[in-house]
Amino acid sequence: MVATIRPDAWDFPLFLHVAGAMLLVGALVVVVASMGSALRRGDGVEVLTGLAFRTLLLGVLPAYILMRVGAEWIGSKEDVPDDVDWIGIGYMVSDAGLLLWIIAAVVAWRAKRRGAAGPGGLGRTVVVLSGVLLVAYAVAIWAMTTKPG
């Protein structure tokens, strides 16, 4: 199969989209690792919980914005039908991911204030929500690279 040739003007928006997605996944890995470590450790919990919260705010949110701006920019340049499955999967995961990010950020803020375990396992909730986001973004990455339908 011959590779798709894109005009040079499309390279930068596509780069922004892919870079944002990579930063987003990397930041979520940091959130899961730091909050997971906070749950296992007895000392330094406040530092690790604070790292998870700050990463959600200063890492995940800017990466999400970069990814979405790049997606909209490249989407406006490409002539792809609206009913393509991989674009639908990308929008669905992105929109649901924003909602889960908001919930995870609020829970991480509460965990930071109360300690990682917190009442009701706030730290575990952040780990689970971030893990769900990682799986969802892995599905989106699969859809974007294989382009089913």
- Residue 67 falls inside a structural domain: yes
Give the DSSP H/E element, type plus range, for residue 17: helix 11-40
Neighbours of 32 (CB within 10 A): 20
* Residue 24 structure tokens: 């987003």
Report the greatest alpha carbon distance in the chain: 56
Tens digits of residue pLDDT in 49-61: 889 999 999 999 9
- Residue 4 falls inside a structural domain: no
From CA 6, how far away is CA 142, in angstroms rounded?
21
- Residue 49 falls inside a structural domain: yes
From CA 19, how far away is CA 88, in angstroms rounded?
20
- Residue 1 falls inside a structural domain: no
* Residue 12 structure tokens: 């930068």
- Residue 42 falls inside a structural domain: yes
> Rounded to two decimals, what is the model's pTM?
0.85
Q: How confident is the model at residue 115 (pLDDT cuts 50, 70, 90)?
A: low
Domain enclosing residue 62, as ranges: 10-146
The CATH code of the domain that includes 17 is 1.20.120
How many domains is the chain built from?
1
